[in-house]
Amino acid sequence: MEELIKRAAQDLANSSYAIALTGAGMSTESGIPDFRGPSGIWTKNPDAERRAYRSYEFFMENPKGWWVERVTGPNIFGDLAGYSPNAGHIAIGDLEKYGILKTVITQNIDGLHEKGGTKNLLEYHGCALKLRCVSCLSRMRREEIDLELLLKEDRLPPVCSVCGGVIKTDTVGFGEPIPEDVAEKSLEEAWKCDLMLICGTSAVVYPFANLPRIARQKKANYEIYIDPSEGKRPTGKTTVIEINAEPTPLTQEGISDYLIQGRIGEILPKIAAEVMRIRQI
């Protein structure tokens, strides 16, 4: 493992546009469970899974009823605002600070990358601590809207102060499209990067799981997707590195160049320290 850590640090130090992709495994060391592991939220509460699958459809049919259920019912994650970033989140924040990582694209909804110092962040599945207007995509912190008061005054659903559209939580439900702004920017980053560092995702949830495949395929398929006159044409191969407790389809299909198998909270700080040494930061 130590050799692979050195290799990853060298690859990062040599890169010109590195990005990171992260998943639920990034936050297990902060105490936030994943969905389907042995202690997963849905393993323990199958009813929550059934409700999650029909949640977006219900919102579209009856936003008021959806909000009443949200404000009065339990939150499946409990209070996500109470968790702290772990050594992995801090190392990702440091790698951005050193100018190595240009963007982080996360599937996580826990807000821990932001707390860990990441500035250029794309929250692919939204953030549980934020709300979003479904029309103009304006985001706001949850506490900016007094949901309890709106419930009491029978004024749910909340409406957007910018465009008057209906507001929902920022988290992306099953069947809900990825918000256009985040989807487009993520695709752009996957095209642009020359190194993709993938941490703690089983890479089975789509369309997020397409991003590493796009990075790997971009040279071959570039002209199919993007008009070359609109942007810089990517050249060469993207290095794809995985850090995960176990092999994933990306490992098995040869999408990643190599897997560093182990705990993110142990591996990422070592990589960040080695990058600092190489770059003499």
The residues that are catalytic are 125
The dihedral built from the CA positions of residue 21, 25, 28 and 29, taken in this order, carries a sign that is negative
Question: What six digits make up the tokens of 36?
Answer: 């389907």
Task: Say if CB 117 and CB 94 are below 8 A apart.
Answer: yes
Whichever of 43 and 135 has its CB closer to ligand NAD, that residue is: 43
Residues 232-251 touching ligand NAD, rule: CB under 6 A, are 244-246, 248
Whichever of 38 and 236 has its CB closer to ligand NAD, that residue is: 38
The count of residues in the chain is: 281
| Least spacing, CB of residue 274 vs ligand NAD, in Å | 18
Question: Alpha-carbon distance 75 to 87, whole Å?
Answer: 26
- The piece of 24-32, 133-141, 142-150, 217-225 that touches ligand NAD (CB under 6 A) is 24-32
Question: What six digits make up the tokens of 85?
Answer: 């970033």
What x/- string results for residues 51 through 80 when contact with ligand NAD is judged by CB under 6 A?
------------------------------
Q: Are strands 101-106 and 18-22 parallel, antiparallel or unpaired?
A: parallel
Whichever of 103 and 108 has its CB closer to ligand NAD, that residue is: 108
Residues 117-156 touching ligand NAD, rule: CB under 6 A, are 125
Give how many residues touch ligand NAD by CB under 6 A. Answer: 24
Residues 156-215 touching ligand NAD, rule: CB under 6 A, are 200-202, 205
Amino acid found at 241: I
Q: Is residue 256 a contact point for ligand NAD (CB under 6 A)?
A: no
Among 61, 140, 243, which Cα is nearest to 69's?
61
- Scored b (16 or more CB within 10 A) or e, 15-25 reads bebbbbbbbbb
Among 68, 73, 167, 159, which Cα is nearest to 126's?
167
- The piece of 106-114, 135-143, 174-182, 250-258 that touches ligand NAD (CB under 6 A) is 106-114
Nearest residue to the partner ligand NAD, using Cβ: 25
Q: Is residue 42 a contact point for ligand NAD (CB under 6 A)?
A: no
Binding site for ligand NAD (CB under 6 A): 23-25, 27-29, 32, 34-35, 107-110, 125, 200-202, 205, 244-246, 248, 263-264
